[in-house]
Amino acid sequence: MQDLNTLNRIFGREDKVSFIEGPSGMPLIQVSTARAQARVALYGGQLLSFKPARADHDLFYLSKKAIYEQGKAIRGGVPLCWPWFGDDPGDLGRQAHGFARNLFWDVLDSQLHDDNVEITLGLESTATSKQWWPSEFRLRKKIHIGDQLNISLTTENKGDIPFSVSKALHSYFRVGDVKQTRVSGLDGVDYLDKTLGFARQKQTGDITAKGETDRVYLNAPSRVEIVDPSLKRRIEIEHQGADNFVVWNPWDKAAQLNDMSAEDYEQFICVETANAIANSIIVAPGAVHHMQVSYRINPDN
């Protein structure tokens, strides 16, 4: 893992991109420009916070009880699920949602232009990763921080045989009150409902959470919107290279999680960009797959 002095010397940009020690000594990237404030953990390559200059609230929920230690995903922000989404597909006792969010990523580049910041992070197959997954891979994540937030993920097959991946940017969006929040743009789209044993359902109208919600929307459109009347804003989500939106809120099951307060389910909704289940991606040797998403906060007039 790169040390903070080296990171600041090579990748620090004026006083606007710096590398600091976070909770439990974990290194964080801190971005502070005229356009936005943001924090990114090198652990998991995970964006933790993004607040545009014109916004009153952070885009993301981050649990005050989040655990910052190796082997445990950070609860909130935008964790990455890769190379599988959900439970271990091989039923081999491996961690849910893969291992990419539980490893330290390398900083490969940082750019600053007109108060827009772009950070490039990388993760590659190692002897450690091959304990869980034998394939040779290279991951690249680019995070663009400006008036809006863009995240892109590139998966490259560095081996000699094809591999299959499912993946998600597991974004926890902060809301004022989940019971008042709506997700629009998925009317008429079929989904698999995990709370009903993955029964196939069809969405009617906007999504409103009234209890535990865990749905994979199939062959979904590229754009949805979170309408949050409590915080008086709309969050526009637009993605490419992804076939699914996943909508999740644990509701009263939040009380069973040791890294979240029981009432925290009221403060977020996850609307995740994903390629999951039947929409997993096969990557041929030498080939790459790109997935990207943009997030924009608009006022709810």
pLDDT digits (tens, 9 = 90+) for 240-296: 999 999 999 999 999 999 999 999 999 999 999 999 988 999 999 999 999 999 999
pLDDT of residue 1: 66
Q: CA of 259: how far to CAs of 42, 64, 150, in Å?
A: 19, 8, 27
**Distance in angstroms (rounded) separating the CA atoms of residues 32 and 12:** 12
Can you list the residues of the chain whose pLDDT is less than 50?
none
pLDDT of residue 91: 85
**140 forms bridges with which residues in the sheet?**
122, 154
- Residue ranges of alpha helices (H) inside the chain are 4-11
Q: Helix, strand, or coil here: 177?
A: coil
Phi-psi region of 126 (alpha: psi -120 to 50; beta: other; left: phi over 0): beta
Residues 6+ positions from 126 with CB-CB distance below 8 Å: none
Active site residue 118: no
What would the two tokens of residue 54 be?
């014109």
Among candidate residues 278, 233, 226, the one with its CA nearest the CA of residue 248: 226
Tell me the backbone φ, ψ of residue 10, rounded to 5 degrees. Answer: -90, -40
- Beta strand spans in 80-209 (E): 80-81, 106-113, 116-124, 137-145, 149-157, 163-165, 167-169, 172-174, 182-184, 190-193, 199-202
How many other β-carbons are positioned within 10 Å of the β-carbon of residue 64? 10
pLDDT of residue 278: 85
Amino acid at 269: I
Share of the chain above pLDDT 70, in %: 99
Set 21, 118, 170, 238: catalytic member: 170
Set 225, 238, 266, 272: catalytic member: 272
Cis check for the bond before 83: say yes or no (omega within 30 of 0): yes
Active site residue 21: no
Q: CA of 167: how far to CAs of 80, 98, 230, 282, in Å?
A: 7, 9, 31, 12
- CA 144, 86, 241, 214: dihedral to nearest 10 degrees? -90
Asked if residue 294 lies in contact with residue 148, where contact means CB atoms within 8 angstroms, the answer is yes
Tell me the chain's radius of gyration from C-alpha atoms: 18
Amino acid at 209: A
